[in-house]
């Protein structure tokens, strides 16, 4: 049976879609077969982030309304074996799909895939309920901001209430310079507050913007720090036990002096 993982956050703009695209791509690079599902009906974006926007024929609503089978609607990534996209519909709204539809859709995909990643829309309404309906695991994405962490906490509560027990945290867009200065919540601060296990920490990285511009997930080229972070997340999903990536940045002299004085206060 394929493992179904929902990637969610509550707040928008924290990098759910980017994370889904990169974790999915990284899993495929590890030799797994992966379906990524965009469940953000009306505001689809996973297709552009993956660079597959020109190949869409059918979408998720075509499947749930019976126009075509789930497998027929999948778009195969020609650049990478094992990666498939089920795009969201752009011209419908979220009410076009129900949680029951999602459960059936995942069942129809069968068990020939190792992982099914569901990219959840922002919010806690219908789109969220659809996205989590078929999931057995969840990855909550947050950034080191009060609004994102607060929403993540709410989402974790809702996931637990829906009997999803395996919930892991990704802290995204960390600006290490600011963390080291004491001006941004650290990974430890966030795991302290949310009380769930961390599965990865991704630095704020220009390489993500550049690769997204080109329609290529950043993990395609493994040299950037963010790519390494996403690949580590994928490995941890498969059960590998790898230490957390060191994303700290070298501090200049003044920063070090400041830190010493801050600590003594």
Partner 1 sequence: MMNIIKKFFSNQPSSKNIAKERLQLVLVHDRSDCSPELINRIKSDIMKILSEYVDINEKEFDIEITRDRQQGSSKSTLVANIPINRLERIR
Identify whether the C-beta of residue 34 lies closer than 8 Å to the C-beta of residue 114: yes
Which is closer to partner 1, CB of 50 or CB of 149?
149
Examine residue 195 and tell whether it contacts partner 1 (CB under 8 A): yes
Which is closer to partner 1, CB of 53 or CB of 255?
255
Examine residue 157 and tell whether it contacts partner 1 (CB under 8 A): yes
Examine residue 260 and tell whether it contacts partner 1 (CB under 8 A): no
Q: Pick from 189, 215, 245, 249: which binds partner 1 (CB under 8 A)?
A: 189
- Can you read off the two tokens belonging to residue 107? 């069942």
Q: Using alpha carbons, select from 46, 42, 43 the residue that is nearest to residue 22.
A: 46
**Centroid of chain to Cα 56:** 21
Q: Pick from 78, 146, 213, 241: which binds partner 1 (CB under 8 A)?
A: 146
Q: Are strands 137-142 and 75-76 parallel, antiparallel or unpaired?
A: unpaired
**Binding-site size, partner 1 (CB under 8 A):** 32
From CA 239, how far away is CA 141, in angstroms rounded?
A: 19
**Centroid of chain to Cα 263:** 35
Identify whether the C-beta of residue 156 lies closer than 8 Å to the C-beta of residue 140: yes
Per-residue binder mask for partner 1 (CB under 8 A), 168-187, x = binder: -----------x-xxxxxx-
- Per CB under 8 A, residues contacting partner 1 are 145-146, 149-150, 153-154, 156-157, 160, 165-167, 179, 181-186, 189, 192-197, 254, 257-258, 261-262, 265
């Amino acid at each position: 049976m394929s493992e179904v993982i929902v990637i969610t956050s509550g707040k928008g703009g924290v990098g759910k879609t980017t994370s889904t695209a990169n974790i999915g791509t990284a899993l495929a690079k590890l030799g797994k077969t992966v379906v990524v599902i965009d469940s953000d009906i009306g505001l689809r974006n996973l297709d552009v982030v993956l660079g597959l926007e020109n190949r869409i024929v059918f979408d998720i609503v075509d499947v749930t309304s019976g126009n075509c089978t789930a497998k027929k609607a999948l778009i195969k990534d020609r650049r990478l074996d094992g990666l498939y996209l089920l795009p969201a519909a752009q011209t419908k709204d979220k009410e076009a799909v129900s949680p029951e539809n999602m459960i059936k859709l995942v069942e129809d995909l069968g068990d020939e895939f190792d992982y099914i990643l569901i990219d959840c829309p922002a919010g806690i309404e219908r789109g969220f309920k659809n996205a989590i309906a078929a999931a057995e695991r969840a990855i909550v994405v947050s950034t080191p901001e009060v609004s994102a962490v607060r929403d993540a906490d709410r989402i974790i509560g809702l996931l637990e209430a829906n009997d999803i027990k395996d919930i892991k945290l990704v802290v995204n867009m960390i600006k290490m310079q600011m963390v080291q200065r004491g001006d941004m919540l650290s990974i430890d601060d966030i795991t302290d507050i949310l009380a769930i296990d961390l599965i990865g920490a991704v630095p704020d990285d220009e390489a993500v913007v550049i690769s997204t511009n080109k329609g290529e997930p950043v993990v395609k080229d493994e040299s950037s720090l963010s790519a390494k972070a996403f690949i580590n997340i994928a490995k941890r999903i498969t059960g590998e036990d790898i230490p957390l990536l060191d994303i700290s940045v070298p501090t200049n002299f003044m920063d070090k002096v400041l830190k010493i004085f801050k600590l003594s206060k």
